[in-house]
Amino acid sequence: MSVGIVEDAVRQRYSAAAEASEAALCCPVEYDPRYLEMIPDEIIEKDYGCGDPSQHLRPGDTVLDLGSGGGKICYIATQVVGAEGRVIGVDMNDDMLELARRYQGHMAAELGYANVEFHKAKIQDLALDRDHLDQWLRQHPVEDETSLRVLEDHMAEQRLSAPLIADESIDVVVSNCVLNLVSDDDKRQLFREIHRVLKRGGRVAISDIVADESVPVHLKNDPMLWSGCVSGAMQEMEFIEAFEAAGFYGIEIAKRDAEPWQTVEGIEFRSVTVVAYKGKEGECWDHGEALIYKGPFKEVADDDGHRFRRGQRVAVCRKIYDIFSRPPYDQYFDQIEPLEAIADPPPFPCTGETFLRDPRQTKGQDYDLTTEVNSCLPGECC
């Protein structure tokens, strides 16, 4: 099915759902009731999600919500991140954007601060501000091939000189049951865009519908199933691999519903929430550091093929050392630093092979310290 047909089907159905609640578009989700108290009932009634990515936000975050709809996740996020944070909602549906914007003043008055904004854009094209484009088109209507080329040039210039969401400007990208609404042809670009806008060290928390089997062509050609979060669902492993291909690391399935939300022709469609991180790009330098995997498995491998056997002192570059010193890895590893910093670190051969770090490399070849047995305090056992 063509991109245009997919987008038309999604737009029509969600415009209708902005007017009247449609239960078939959402999964049962439990949200923290503290954050729902001040959100208007109309937004809650017309929210269509399958998870709660807001659980993965922190105070002070700059948050981007892809497919923000009526604004529920954004209005939860604004409470979590606080006055020091910022929340940006992006959606392509004018009716949903109108609903979300309608309550910005109300929410600001309730909170005592205003830090949420809503913009019109495709989530697979976050550089192009389509509110601006709509205004520009009113003054420059497309009437022939020449004016079409002018439009295309203007769009390219806007993406380059005035992107709606700038490179590396976002701490965390969230989305709630929207990625599956993007056409298959655009999904690779969608994941690249998410990676582009995140800061180094930033993260994603995506709740979406996935399928246990690949969705056959005849289901993909059904517009109602597309707009109903079925036909565009990626197969579970393909969903994870899309994060890998875009350059993310630390990819976790934070939540996977045991029961399918819907079953069509024997194919199970269920909600998952995936958390992943950006920041493994860059050169590798050897600062003499090592990691010890503590278990519980005998051996694990990271996304780049480095293998960590339980209890072994594995040599790593500074980049990997820093990554594994933070969530989600830090609880599984002990970090070993050299006694003396290396002033001029050499390149580290990050080829995917495993190199062990001899303790003498950490302590220094001339290390010959002898110490007394540590004394116990009264009443304590060594």
pLDDT digit string, tens, across residues 55-83:
999 999 999 999 999 999 999 999 999 99
Asked if residue 346 has a cis previous peptide bond (ω within 30° of 0), the answer is: no
Q: In which residue are the tokens 């580290």 written? A: 348
Domain ranges of the chain: 3-127+163-277, 290-363
DSSP-derived 3-state class of residue 297:
coil
Banded model confidence at residue 112, pLDDT cuts 50, 70, 90: very high
Supply the pLDDT for residue 49: 85
Q: Which of 53, 377, 16, 366 is nearest to 207 (CA)?
A: 53
pLDDT surpassing 60 at residue 24: no
Cα separation of 261 and 273, whole Å? 14
What pLDDT sits at residue 280? 87
Of 41-50, 72-81, 232-241, 327-336, the least confident:
41-50
Determine the pLDDT at residue 382: 56
Residue whose structure tokens are 């339980």: 310
Checking if the pLDDT of 214 tops 80, the result is yes
Q: Average pLDDT of 12-38?
A: 72
Residue 222 pLDDT grade (very low, low, confident, very high; cuts 50, 70, 90): confident
What's residue 17's pLDDT? 55
Query: What is the pLDDT, as a whole number, of residue 65?
Result: 98
pLDDT of residue 330: 94
Count of Cβ atoms closer than 10 Å to residue 147 Cβ: 13
What's the mean pLDDT in 276-291? 93
State the chain's maximal CA–CA distance in angstroms. Answer: 90
**What's the pLDDT score for residue 61?**
98
Task: Work out the pLDDT band at 352, boundaries 50, 70, 90.
Answer: confident
Superfamily of chain region 3-127+163-277: Vaccinia Virus protein VP39 (3.40.50.150)
CATH of 290-363, one of 3.40.190, 1.10.3470, 3.40.5, 1.10.10: 3.40.5
Residue 168's closest CA among 130, 142, 197, 192?
197
Confidence of residue 3 (pLDDT cuts 50, 70, 90): low
Rounded average pLDDT over 247-254: 95
Average pLDDT over residues 246-275: 95
Sequence-distant (6+) residues with CB within 8 A of 264 are 219, 225, 230
pLDDT at residue 374, as a whole number: 65
Q: What is the pLDDT of residue 100?
A: 96
Question: What mean pLDDT, rounded, does the chain reach?
Answer: 90
Q: Nearest 5°: CA angle at 296, between 292 and 301? A: 60
| The residue type at 233 | A
What's CA 87's distance to the chain center, in Å?
14
The DSSP 8-state label assigned to residue 241 in this structure reads H
**Residues facing residue 343 across a β-bridge:** none
Q: What is the mean pLDDT of residues 147-171?
A: 96
Report DSSP letters for 45-90, one per residue: HT---SS-GGGG--TT-EEEEET-TTSHHHHHHHHHH-TT-EEEEE
Which residues have C-beta within 8 Å of that of residue 152, sequence separation ≥ 6?
none
Mean pLDDT value of segment 190-202 = 97
- Quick one: pLDDT at residue 167? 97
Percent of the chain with pLDDT over 70: 91
Q: How far apart are CA 347 and CA 350, in angstroms?
A: 9
Q: Is 19:11 a contact under the CB 8 Å cutoff?
A: no
| Orientation angle between helical segments 145-161 and 130-139, nearest 10 degrees | 150
* pLDDT value at 286 more than 90: yes
Q: H or E stretch including 207?
A: strand 198-211
The pLDDT, as a whole number, for residue 6 is: 66
Token pair for 156: 């390219």
Identify the three-state secondary structure at position 98: helix
Burial of 144: CB neighbours in 10 Å, binned 0-12, 13-18, 19+: exposed
pTM: 0.89
Query: What pLDDT shows up at residue 12?
Result: 74
pLDDT for 223 equals: 81
Q: In terms of Cα–Cα distance, which of 309, 313, 241, 325 is closest to 276?
A: 241
What three-state secondary structure class fits 267? strand
Say yes or no to pLDDT of 381 above 70: no
Contact 275, 56 (CB under 8 A): yes
